[in-house]
Amino acid sequence: MHNKLQYISQGNTIEEQLSNIKNVLDHGCQWVQLRFKNTNAQDFYTVAEQTKVLCQSYEATFIINDKVDLACQLDADGVHLGLEDMPIKAARNLLGNQKIIGGTANTWEHIVQRTLENCNYIGLGPYRFTPTKEKLSPILGLEGYEKLLQRMKQKSIFTPVIAIGGITLEDIDLLMETGLHGVALSGLLTQNPSLITTLNEKIYVNI
């Protein structure tokens, strides 16, 4: 089963990225999605290569955002693909059936699309406004998650759903009550990695 607490990396430089990733791993995070926008291919490769080593040493899952070719090259655990990235079917053909492929969704139509594409999990959001994401899709809010998760249940769609986008510690309890599988956090964990223990206690409380 996919980790219920996922970290989406932040940092404008190689050093910032690796420092933030090591900090969350040190505090018990078991899933890292490497997201390093607006950088060159060499710097991305450097961070990805070192992140894989870090994740292996902490026995954590290592996911690369968008770059399927790099995930193949480094034998990452998988990729996360946005709606405008490589199609999931094409990524699956390259990565094989054993790798994790997550797909972004914002609407019911996207959820159906991702389900038909057989992604391993859906990153559904954004929950609220977040400055870490350019070209932000319409905000879902708690009510949006409740409606979409209920509709998935009615249609017997069981793909794990991960909430994303501006989530705070205070949001976790209500979000998890909607039936979400888990949450993906970026800024909150970058700034407060010591919250990971508390977050895990909240997120895993219903197991």
For 86-95, what is each residue's pLDDT tens digit?
A: 999 999 999 9
Residue 135 is predicted with a pLDDT of: 64
pLDDT at residue 129 in the model:
79
What burial class does residue 148 get, using C-beta atoms within 10 Å of its C-beta: 0-12 exposed, 13-18 middle, 19+ buried?
A: buried
Domains of the chain (ranges plus CATH)?
A: 5-193 (3.20.20.70)
Return the ∠ at Cα 97 (arms to 41 and 105), rounded to 5°.
65
Name the residue among 44, 103, 101 with its Cα closest to residue 74.
44
Pick the closest to residue 61 from 108, 25, 26 (CA basis).
Answer: 25
Summarised one tens digit per residue, pLDDT across range 59-70 is: 999 999 999 999
| Per-residue pLDDT at 112 | 98
- pLDDT tens per residue across span 1-27: 579 999 999 999 999 999 999 999 999
The structure tokens 């989530």 sit at 167
Decide which of 38 and 60 is more confident.
60
Q: How many C-beta atoms lie closer than 10 Å to residue 199's C-beta?
A: 23
The model's pLDDT over 152-166, given as tens digits with 9 standing for 90+, comes to 999 999 999 999 999
pTM: 0.94
The average confidence (pLDDT) of the chain is 95
In this structure, what is the dihedral angle of CA atoms 196, 198, 201, 202, given to the nearest 10 degrees? -100
pLDDT at 207 over 50: no
Predicted local distance difference test score (pLDDT) of residue 204: 86
Amino acid 134: pLDDT: 61
3-class SS of residue 54 = helix
Report angle CA 78, 2, 124 to the nearest 5 degrees.
85
Q: Which two tokens stand for residue 146?
A: 């409740």
The predicted pLDDT at position 132 comes to 63
Cα–Cα nearest to 101, from 113, 116, 84, 89: 89
Alpha helix (H) residue ranges in 75-179: 88-95, 108-116, 141-154, 172-176
Considering only 82-96, 102-116, 130-144, which range has the smallest mean pLDDT?
130-144
